[in-house]
Amino acid sequence: MLDETLASDHTTPGATNAEGPAVDPTAPEFFVNRELSWVDFDQRVLELAQDERTRLLERVKFAAIFASNLDEFFMIRVAGQHAKVWAENRRRGPDGRTADQTLDALRAKLEPLVHEHARVVEQDLRPLLREHGIRIARHEELDDEQKALIKTRFQNRIYPVLTPLAVGLGRPFPYISNLSLNLGVLVRDPDTRQTVFARVKLPTEVVDRLELVDNTANPNAESKEQVFVPLEEIVEAHLDALFPGMEVLDRGMFRVTRDADFEISDDADDVKRALEAELRNRRFGEIVRVEIDGKVSEALRTEIVEQLGVEERQVYDLDGLLDLTALWQLVKAPGHNELLDDPWRAVTHPRLREGDDEKSDVFAAMRRGDVLVHHPYDSFHTSVERFLEQAAVDRDVLAIKMTVYRTNADSTLLPALVRASERGKQTVALVELKARFDEQANIRWAQVLEDTGVHVVYGHPALKTHAKCILVVRREGEKVRHYLHIGTGNYHAKTANLYTDFGLFTRDQRLGQDVADLFNQLTGFAKPGRFRKALVAPNGLRDGLIEEIERTVEAHRQGLPTRIRLKMNSIVDRASIHALYRASQAGVPIEINVRGICCLRVGVPGLSETIQVRSVLGRFLEHSRIYAFDRGDQRTVYMGSADIMERNLDNRVELVVPVDDEAARDELLDALDRAFEDEEGSWVLRPDDTWERVQPADPENPKGLQRQLMELHARRAREADTE
């Protein structure tokens, strides 16, 4: 319909630029490389570590997040580009680059960024930490009593789990495991003058990376600081114990990152068994990155690089500590709460506060109308967990069905399914075994559930079930009713305190029938059909969203006030981006709030002049997905599990639903308003594809999305207490 409208205006394949010929929205120059856009996102995380307005340990936290983000990026995304190069795949991506060209561009963009990360930690954060009584010290900086204490710990706890491996005749270069920290050492026999290379793996799985020195050894010490010594410093200081009688000529740290991605064959007979086999092979993936201490000699560096057999563009020479995810240890160490944000304690939603919060009747609240909860501001425990716990013991509940993508080890949700099964209720858990880096945990949970009588389904090998939904079937009189929870985030109590997500509790029976049909399609053997209200991937979500865009364009052409507002983690899908470009060409105002990857370009004359893109980062990870379309007096608002990415729309089972309840819809729109007005942790995308930090209009009183929502929910809870 939209293409026909454009054709009638003689603008196919794009709109007419007043300053030149038509602009083709499908041209490669109007698609930002996905991998490079992700690097921009991690750079924004690094800027939070640089922000002097942020409390010190929060800055340290963001420095650690930058590092862990980068590890996963190399293991999955960069590894995928290398795999294409090794397979001699020269096909160009939607931005016109080959994989080889993308790797070169990534290297050029990442190298200064990782050096800036190291500089921020070494020159900015470490001195500030020391001023506040937290010191990361070199071994040589310790006093004699501290060195004696460290030596005892080395002998008792570290030395017994070290295994030096020399390389030489009959001793090949050892396998270097993924993300392990390694000390490379050049050792010489003083008698034969023979020199060999040896590798010592640091046992960070069983020993703290940063060893806390106990200052009580010196009762007269005036300093009350916490002193941490990196594990590699301790091992290096005691190399004589590992190589007795030998001369240590050189030493230096290095770290290897390997390809950790894998695929399960579409025709796998047993998804669980196939996945377990792939998990065993994950540690043997190809090397995609090598990090080396920038202070090592050229001879030692050459030895490491040649033995590992990598290209120079895979090698990063770094100053300071390798693997800065170790900074999490400082963030979590007790004793410095003043350097962290004040803790936030989630509140119970006012609609769920009747009687004891722990025993509130979620079903009764849902019978009075839809309830929208917003985590972490609203409590996960007194909403989602309470809903399932209540369903498990309710004598009128006949069945409970639930999707499980990620969950925590001490979850109360899955034990509630077990209790429901033990009470004779039909219980189904659709466990996604392929949830990246949570595969092993999900296999364990699936086994527990199966052993206790819960029906466990693993889904299709070619699709990840990413939808977030719980269906409770309850007998009420002569009929049965569907009670639903549909969310934007995982059923994971710990991340519900860290990620911002919405959850809709509803008795909408058309949605209930949709979700019931979805479960039956996933657990049974049926072709996907049309749903009544829900948009479901992979067979209708993209088309449904594009249809909403086209309807908005048509309304705009009819002279109605229109607007499109979207909030998500990433926008990558080309067809959706092209639809948004066409809407912009038609004059529709478009606002996009994206946390991570953004592959569209803004402000291009004749293409995207009406599109604005903003990114919000903060103490909580923005994770909710909202899709809102204004057409005159009509407002259509969706929420659900999917980002606008090919992987979500084509290769996952996703669930996005319209929110018809006026109060719930208004709350979603209020969150959108606040997201687009945020001044505390926002960046705006510019036409040159750079991200510019938003400066508050009033520096003394900036608008802050997350701070305002904490204040709003706290106030709402206080008001409920006084009623």
CA-CA distance, 565 to 358, in Å (whole number)?
Answer: 36
Specify whether the CB–CB gap between 646 and 661 falls below 8 A. no
The SS3 call for residue 20 is coil
DSSP 8-state symbol, 524: S
CA-CA distance, 395 to 420, in Å (whole number)?
Answer: 10
Phi-psi region of 323 (alpha: psi -120 to 50; beta: other; left: phi over 0): left
Residue environment code for 624-655, b if the CB has 16+ CB neighbours within 10 A, otherwise e? bbbbbbbbeeeebbbbbbbbbbbbbbeebbbb
Show the tokens assigned to 353.
Answer: 């506060």
Annotation marks residue 466 as catalytic: yes
CA-CA distance, 195 to 185, in Å (whole number)?
Answer: 10
Show the tokens assigned to 684.
Answer: 């705006």
Q: Which amino acid, one-letter code, is at 522?
A: L
Specify whether the CB–CB gap between 579 and 14 falls below 8 A. no
The SS3 call for residue 153 is helix
CA-CA distance, 447 to 272, in Å (whole number)?
Answer: 10
Nearest in space to 538 (alpha carbons), one of 379, 652, 642: 652
CA-CA distance, 329 to 602, in Å (whole number)?
Answer: 40
Specify whether the CB–CB gap between 138 and 272 falls below 8 A. no
Nearest in space to 640 (alpha carbons), one of 448, 504, 447: 504
Show the tokens assigned to 560.
Answer: 């109605």
Specify whether the CB–CB gap between 599 and 31 falls below 8 A. yes
Nearest in space to 275 (alpha carbons), one of 421, 464, 86: 464
Specify whether the CB–CB gap between 518 and 534 falls below 8 A. yes
The count of other CB atoms within 10 Å of the CB of residue 543 is: 13
Q: Which amino acid, one-letter code, is at 481?
A: R
Nearest in space to 646 (alpha carbons), one of 31, 2, 41: 31
Nearest in space to 263 (alpha carbons), one of 286, 247, 241, 279: 279
User: Hey, which residues does 372 pair with through a beta bridge?
Assistant: 504
Say which of 139, 349, 375, 466 is annotated catalytic: 466
Q: In what order do the strands lie in the sheet with 226-230?
A: 134-136, 226-230, 210-213
CA-CA distance, 316 to 66, in Å (whole number)?
Answer: 16
CA-CA distance, 373 to 366, in Å (whole number)?
Answer: 12
Q: What is the largest CA-CA distance in the chain?
A: 93
Specify whether the CB–CB gap between 328 and 64 falls below 8 A. yes
Tell me which residue has tokens 């009509």: 634
Nearest in space to 422 (alpha carbons), one of 457, 386, 393: 393
Spacing of C-alpha 96 from chain mean position: 27
Nearest in space to 418 (alpha carbons), one of 429, 407, 409, 410: 429
As annotated, the active-site residues are 466
